Amino acid sequence: MRYYIADCHFFHEALNREMDHRGFASVEEMNEYMIKRWNEKVRNRDEVVILGDLSMENAEQTNALLDRLQGKLFLIVGNHDNRYLRSKTFHKERFGWIYPYAELHDDGRKVVLSHYPIACYNGQYLKNKKGEPRTYMLYGHVHDSHDERLIEQYQQMVEKTRIPDRDGGTQSLSSHMINCFCMYSDYQPLSLDEWIALTKQRLIRCQNVEDSL
């Protein structure tokens, strides 16, 4: 099984208190909870693609963290990862690969992987014979911020846009961007299908809250 997750920010005390307001009593408590949730889900034979910003600490502490995380790990580099990646003492062999961007196939679908959200991604409008999307764009970086709200609004706008088709009619556009922010999944890596379902439920809840205001 392959799983995905973004923006764990292990060791990031300020983020726990301020930006994300994660609510842990300490960064140590946050780290231990995230490790526990990870290992409850992931077995050593599973693959986990980390969509950036795994750790905010040095090579030695990040090495020790990776020794405790189960699974075969792969890294899409985020804006905070170079603090350990650039060190000669970091164990890069813990990752199957380390890329700034990647495109993979997951159960017959393409996944475009980037730490940063890409609005117009490769294969965005491709669909199978059933009309289902053939490509998903998985990202991180924006957490649960105003930027994520703007991305959600953009996707709604794209879905409402229609363009001429080959038969003289019109067809709708599509956008299937998924923010794999760790807090959305209660700090567990999820499969592509799980992220699709969770994102759909989350956006429905958000829309219901907006409609009630």
Q: In total, how many domains does the chain have? A: 1
- Burial pattern 37-75, b for ≥16 Cβ within 10 A else e, equals bbeebbeeebbbbbbbbbbbbebeebbebbeebbbbbbb
Cα–Cα distances (Å) from 29 to 26, 32, 34, 35, in that order, read: 5, 5, 9, 10
For the entire predicted model, the pTM comes to 0.94
Say if residue 209's pLDDT is above 80.
Answer: no
Position 71 scores a pLDDT of 98
Using a 10 angstrom Cβ sphere, with 0-12 exposed, 13-18 middle and 19 or more buried, the burial of residue 85 is: middle
Say if residue 1's pLDDT is above 70.
Answer: yes
Give 205-213 contacts, CB < 8 A, sequence gap 24+: 206/152
Per cent of the chain over pLDDT 70 is 96
- Enumerate residues 6+ apart whose C-beta is below 8 A from 79: 52, 53, 115, 141
Cα–Cα distances (Å) from 7 to 80, 88, 132, 151, in that order, read: 10, 23, 28, 17
Quick one: which of 36, 22, 5 has its CA closest to 198?
Answer: 5
Q: What phi and psi, each to the nearest 5 degrees, are found at residue 159?
A: -65, -25
Position 169 scores a pLDDT of 77
pLDDT band per the 50, 70, 90 thresholds, residue 208: low
Using a 10 angstrom Cβ sphere, with 0-12 exposed, 13-18 middle and 19 or more buried, the burial of residue 27 is: buried
Say if residue 213's pLDDT is above 50.
Answer: no
166 DSSP assignment: T
pLDDT band per the 50, 70, 90 thresholds, residue 204: confident
Q: Which domain holds residue 18?
A: 2-212
Position 127 scores a pLDDT of 87
Give 122-131 contacts, CB < 8 A, sequence gap 24+: 124/174, 124/175, 124/176, 125/173, 125/174, 127/174
Mean pLDDT of 33-50: 98
Distance between CA atoms of residues 198 and 189, nearest Å: 12
Mean pLDDT of 103-120: 97
- Axis crossing angle, helix 59-68 with helix 27-41, rounded to the nearest 10: 40
In terms of phi and psi (left: phi > 0; alpha: psi -120 to 50; beta: otherwise), the region of 87 is beta
CATH number for the domain harbouring residue 199 = 3.60.21.10
